[in-house]
Structure formats: C-alpha cells, structure tokens
Amino acid sequence: MKRILVTGGAGFIGSNLCERLLKEPDNYVIALDNLFTGRRSNLEKCFESDRFEFIEADVCAPVDIPCDRIYNAACPASPPAYQKSPTNTTKTCVLGVINMLELATKYGAVMMQFSTSEVYGDPEVHPQVEAYRGNVSCNGIRSCYDEGKRCAESLCFDYNREFGTKIKVIRIFNTYGPKMDPEDGRVVSNFIMQALRGEPLTVYGDGKQTRSFQYIDDLVEGIIRMMEFSRINFTGPVNLGNPGEFTMLELAEKVCKKVGGAAQFVFKPLPGDDPTRRKADISLAERELGGWKPAICLDEGLDRTIEYFRKLV
C-alpha cells in the first residue's frame, strides 16, 4: 500500500486532495496540519476511511513518518491569513520545506512542493510562463509569502541537485471551490458570502486588475497527473491554472447575477503589492501532463461553489 503524506491536509486544497487520493484503494493517506487555517470539518469524509490518519502537528517541527509520496501544501494562502503572522509564514515556507525534503530524502519519497503564481509578483510578462523570473518585492507586506515560496522552490532544486531528492514543483494559480473557508479573505469567497448576505461587494482599486480562476477539481487532477503520470525526471516548475482571464468587476458581476439581487459595490484602496494582472500559461502542463487542461469553466465552477456556500449562511 502506498503511504502518502499530505501536509496542510485540513486546508482547502489539502482536504480536497485527500478525498481524491482515498478513492484509490491502494493509498493510505496521512494528513498533517496544525489547524492554523485548516479545519477538521474539511476531512469529515476522510475520517470514514480506515486508510486515513490525521496528525495535528506543525511542519516547522521535524517529523519521522515513513512515506512514499509527500504533497507539501502547508502554508496559509490568503493574504489576511499569511499576513496575520508573517514571520510564521516565512518559517512555514522555509523550515517546513526543509523538514519535508529531509523526510523525502530519508525514505526515498517523491516530494511535491505546492508553490504559487505569486512567485511572479506583479508581472512584466503576460501571460506568465515558467521561465519568467518574476517582479517581486523582497520587503513588502506580501513578501513573507511571495519570497517564502520562491525560497522554497530554491531549496527543492538544491536538494535535488545535492542529495538526489526526488521532487516535483507546481505553481498554483487562483483556485476556488467547496471547502474554502468562507472568511478567508479571498476574492471568490468574499464576493459570494457578501452577495448571499445581501451586502455590497468589496472591490479593491478600480476593479480592473485581473486573475485567472481555477476550479478545485481541475487543480487536483493536475496535481495527481504531475505526481503519478509525468516523466520521472520532470521536476517542473509547472503552472497549474485556468488561462481564462477576468477582471475583479467581471467576477463581481457574475457572482451578483448568480446569487440574485442588485449589484452593489464598495470600492476600497488597492492593498500594497497586489498584482495588477495574472494569467496562467499552461502550455508546459498540457505537453507534460498528458494533455491536462481545465475542464470546468468559471460559470459552472461558481454555480457549484455558491451552492456549497449557501449551506453555510
């Protein structure tokens, strides 16, 4: 039986990944999470399986867990969460990755690092390709996350070169769907919850900044393909995102139309270091991951996500 460790396993992406992994009868899944932003309730279905184990622990502390695969998803991902304790965010990105790389090296496991499109910063290249080195502030309010993830990538490739550690690196673009924390401060959850409560939607800046939004099922499919079906020596980094590009105002209008009621917006200043444009170039993923590309459009994904959030209001 394949032993699989998912750090950040009680988080939005981690818990969806755990559920998917448990659909394979030969997988034994261990979710590790300190519950800083993760929620045990996200793992409700997983606890029904006798091939699932939960460990409440912090990746910043070394662990000794025999495993064949490591999916390192541990790190707060929304700006309000990672800015709440920026030094802890950096420690998670650096110490946590070192601990997982050490574990992978010891047991000969493959370690997948969940990196982010934020390594591109406020890009001067559009859409963003993996070869682009980014335009990132090293001392801004988002640096704990952006630079932390860049350092994590560096560590992965240095362990691979120096110790032969088996690695895979993915760069995740904005992702949404069921199991998101309704109060996590991300734009999709913010807009949906405000609309469901009949509140004006908060739009930062002029609302013309863009993002590409990926539904969680598409991301999980890309993750599995990268780990299990890509070439053994294909380390990445590889972009996983939906190349559709939408402004914040376009997203807000879609959410209002789907939820119902008049569209009302409140405009606030754009947060510091907030990227103005974001769009995934997924050419590499399509070539290396068996033709992978997102199957769920924004309208369908929003319908599913709104249905999930309606139950929480």
Q: Can you name the residues that pair with 297 across neighbouring β-strands?
A: none
Q: What are the catalytic residues?
A: 145
Peptide bond into 127 cis (omega under 30): yes
Contacts of residue 199, Cβ cutoff 8 Å, sequence gap at least 6: none
What is the helix (H) or strand (E) element at residue 192, kind and residue range? Answer: helix 187-196
Q: Please check whether residue 101 is in contact with residue 164, taking contact to mean a CB–CB distance below 8 angstroms.
A: no
User: Angle of helix 97-107 relative to helix 143-163, nearest 10 degrees?
Assistant: 20
How far apart are alpha carbons 281 and 127 in whole angstroms?
6
Local structure of residue 127 (DSSP, 8 states): S
Tally Cβ neighbours within 10 Å of residue 143. 18
Locate 113 and state its tokens: 């690092």
